[in-house]
């Protein structure tokens, strides 16, 4: 390879990697034999050659800059695509999570509604059974009197069930039921003489005893189910 070719190769290699170039002198660019080969004086041939190298140098830098710009444009486009893909994936994930949450919420609401309907049906059935059982009680019995007096207060259905359980547990609806502590009568008033406020016949009249008992329950617990709940937790009411 001639000296000119070697210099030319080095020049373009340096331009491609961004290394600063220096301009060769005409004497270095062209050997003396060039005058014989071209018929052009060595000084003029060198000048022409130097001018050509300068143009090549500028063209190489231009191509290098264009390549870098193109690469930057491609990288920016690729980065935008990555960002768009990531945003799309995040949006799809959020939509899927929202859909799953909505599905679970709907399932929970449905389960709660079904449970509420079942509980309402159970309570309705219990009320019907309680009313049927109350109707079967003989009218003149202590329980019959208690049923009618409770109904006059609006304590039917489950409230009557609670009252029936309470007085059955306390006295089995017996007018003369008593215990060692001094409790007496159907509501087991302690002492029994408290029932005087409902009537002087408190010792023998079930209606008098029951009226007193219902007044006591109303004032202390609000209703028979409140009294029955207290009895179950404390053993007395």
Nearest CA to 187 out of 133, 136, 236 is that of 236
Question: Helix crossing, 224-234 with 158-171: angle to 10°?
Answer: 40
Q: Which of 41, 68, 83 marks a domain boundary?
A: 83
Which of 12-26, 90-104, 208-222 shows the lowest per-residue confidence on average (mean pLDDT)? 12-26
Tell me the pTM. 0.50
Given this model, what pLDDT does residue 47 score?
Answer: 65
Per residue in 111-151, pLDDT tens? Answer: 998 899 888 888 888 778 767 776 777 667 999 999 999 99
Q: How many helices (H) and strands (E) does the chain have?
A: 8, 0
Task: Give the rounded percent of residues in the chain with a pLDDT score beyond 70.
Answer: 77
What is the Cα–Cα distance from 158 to 117, expressed in whole angstroms? 18
Cis peptide bond N-terminal to 191, omega within 30: yes
Question: Are 145 and 227 part of one and the same domain?
Answer: yes
Q: Which residues of 149-161 are buried (b: 16+ CB within 10 A; e: fewer)?
A: bbeeeebbbbbbb
Total tally of structural domains belonging to the chain:
2
Which of 9-18, 73-82, 148-157, 195-204 shows the lowest per-residue confidence on average (mean pLDDT)? 9-18
Q: Which of 83, 112, 145 marks a domain boundary?
A: 83
Examine residue 102 and state whether it is found in any structural domain, yes or no: no
Examine residue 93 and state whether it is found in any structural domain, yes or no: no
The parent domain of residue 146 ranges over: 137-234
Say if residue 85's pLDDT is above 80: yes
Average pLDDT, the chain: 82
């Amino acid at each position: 390879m001639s000296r000119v070719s070697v210099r030319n190769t080095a020049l373009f290699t340096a331009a491609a990697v961004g290394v600063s170039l220096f301009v060769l002198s005409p004497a270095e660019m062209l050997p003396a034999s060039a005058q014989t080969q071209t018929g052009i004086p060595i000084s003029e041939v060198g000048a022409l050659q130097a001018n050509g190298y300068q143009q090549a140098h500028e063209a190489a830098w231009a191509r290098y800059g264009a390549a870098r710009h193109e690469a930057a444009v491609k990288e920016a486009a690729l980065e935008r695509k990555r960002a768009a893909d990531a945003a799309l994936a995040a949006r799809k994930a959020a939509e899927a999570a929202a859909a799953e949450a909505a599905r679970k919420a709907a399932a929970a609401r449905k389960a709660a509604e079904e449970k509420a309907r079942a509980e309402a049906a159970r309570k309705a059935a219990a009320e019907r059974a309680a009313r049927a059982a109350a109707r079967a009680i003989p009218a003149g019995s202590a329980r019959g009197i208690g049923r009618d007096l409770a109904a006059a207060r609006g304590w039917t259905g489950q409230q009557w069930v609670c009252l029936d359980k309470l007085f059955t547990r306390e006295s089995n609806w017996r007018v003369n039921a008593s215990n060692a502590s001094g409790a007496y009568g159907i509501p087991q008033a302690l002492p029994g003489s408290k029932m005087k406020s409902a009537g002087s016949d408190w010792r023998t009249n079930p209606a008098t005893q029951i009226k007193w008992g219902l007044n006591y329950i109303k004032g202390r617990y609000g209703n028979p189910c409140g009294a029955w709940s207290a009895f179950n937790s404390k053993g007395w009411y």
